[in-house]
Structure 1
């Protein structure tokens, strides 16, 4: 099974998607499964993981409804309020749904760099294994060292890093992101998505070589068995087409053993999110 491990759906409105600024106006519209399906087919992919874009229980419910209606959606990464006293009730509400594979919070927007070390947040994280759920780490490169501490604290919890923690690809800067990424990769319960890179590069003038060092570092640190391709569509549309994003990964990994390519293009995703 070949899978896109990271993409989003939304019905656009300016209130709930205020983060889509003027410079991103090309994605100020709705993006739904019927828009993604032909792109998956074109790239030879069998399905996708739909990841939350709104921080609400309504978002989780809506994505699960989409998954029930569209065969291409193999799993959902939703949202619950991990810091709430009601988090167990919220998990009970959704966890019996077979499409719910994990949860995520937009930590990168939290002003507290140490947000993942909060006692209430970690109390919520501690419940996820009980429900068989993974956790997607959406953190900035500045927050990444604290994410490493989180992952160490919960060695039996499955974590996956979204977008390589958003390194400064446009400027070509590697350190201290590289060292923090390698520290995360040293934890066997940590995985990484090869996603979100084109929006960290020069949106107009990027070239494939801009990503070479970052991809090499991730592959060396995690190995194919803990890496997965993700498009970050439709956010990626501000900088590249779906086929261009997929092509970047394909062209970079085409010298790896076929077994490694298969893991990055779906095997790792299926194992991590427990998709059969």
Structure 2
């Protein structure tokens, strides 16, 4: 069985932390509490041996809760948290220092802003974003980039300005398999891929097209483009559970990626190990038991 590091999943308590980003349809399907135990019940049988738990809302109380969850579970190897960029760029460094002092902060591996919800296409060049990128570079934290496709050009320029910071582009850059051809996607991210400090999450597969069968059909060509631009050593798997439950089970998400790898004849053990866990371990600096390898 493939041993997997899930580099991107969530949990939430809807009453305590309302997920305001959800659409009415999402609230109907996934708008209920999702716990770490719920995730593990689906992930562990699929071969997952560790994970990165990622923020979901702009709420300062969420990050300490996630760090406490990580401290209580050997499965959660890292946490991507949040700081309030709307409080102003001058406050960002102090906020980053503050979350690094929280109990359990040894599991804090990165920070992100839900910038895909912001109207500005040039968000990555804003003073607050620059302050975040600088602070994360100084603190050796990864910046998760949650971007719309129109926000990628500014992110390319921003990444070039922050050569000392590591970045991860979430969810294949939020491309849409139904409307974006693989070559067009490749063209849009090629300059970002040319920056060695940027990795790519092959995540949120369930959201890349309207129907699961369209994801299965569209993923191989996009994955080939990702492999050719970023290389396997900068690709990492993420389930995006429980958002993925809108259209796929956890096992289906894993099988969809595995099917694409088989179709592309990616048999090299090193490349497969990178994608299924090795890249996430290196990029986020996850502390993994020597007995846990990317493949059994």
TM-score scaled by structure 2?
Answer: 0.88
Structure number having the greater helix percentage: 2
Q: Is the 8 A contact 2:93 2:131 kept in 1?
A: no
Alignment of 1:138-153 (within 5 A): 138-153=146-161
Deviation sequence 1:153-185 (CA, Å, 0-9, x none) = 111210000001111212353464321211110
- 8 Å Cα contact 2:12-2:34 kept in structure 1: yes
1:91 aligns with 2:100: no
* 1:65-99 per-position Cα deviation (integer Å, ceiling 9, x unaligned): 11111221110000012444222222222214101
Which residue pairs with 2:174 in the alignment? 166
Closer, same or farther in 2 for the Cα pair 1:205/1:258, shift >3 Å? closer
Name the residue aligned to 2:118. Answer: 110
Contact map agreement 1:116 1:147 (CA 8 A) in 2: yes
Q: Give 2:47's aligned residue.
A: 44
If the length of structure 1 is used for normalisation, what is the TM-score? 0.94
Task: Tell me the alpha carbon deviations over residues 77-125 of structure 1, each in whole angstroms, 9 at most, x when there is no partner.
Answer: 0001244422222222221410100000011011010011012320231
Unaligned 5+ runs, structure 2: 288-296
With 178-187 and 120-129 compared, the bigger mean Cα shift is at 120-129
Contact 2:10 2:241 in 1 (8 A): yes
Which residue in the other structure is 1:16 paired with? 18
Residues 14-23 or 55-64, more deviating: 14-23
Whether the 8 Å contact between 1:199 and 1:236 is mirrored in structure 2 is yes
Q: Which moved more, 1:133-142 or 1:92-101?
A: 92-101
Q: Please name the residue that 2:290 is paired with.
A: none
Q: Offset of 1:17 from its aligned partner? A: 1.3
8 Å CA contact 1:203–1:238 kept in 2: the answer is no
* Aligned residue in 2 for 1:132: 140
Distance 1:193 1:137 in 2: 10
Distance, in Å, in 2 between the alignment partners of 1:37 and 1:81 is 29
**Residues 206 and 212 in structure 2, CA contact (< 8 A), matched pair in contact too:** no
Matched-pair contact (CA < 8 Å) for 1:40–1:47: no
Counterpart CA distance in 1 for 2:33 and 2:95 is 27
Aligned to 1:267: 278
How many residues are paired up? 276
Deviation at 1:213, TM superposition (A): 1.6
Decide whether aligned partners of structure 1 residues 14 and 70 sit closer, same or farther in structure 2, where only a CA change above 3 A counts. Answer: closer
- Gaps (5+ residues) in structure 1? none
Q: Superposition RMSD on alpha carbons, in Å? A: 1.7
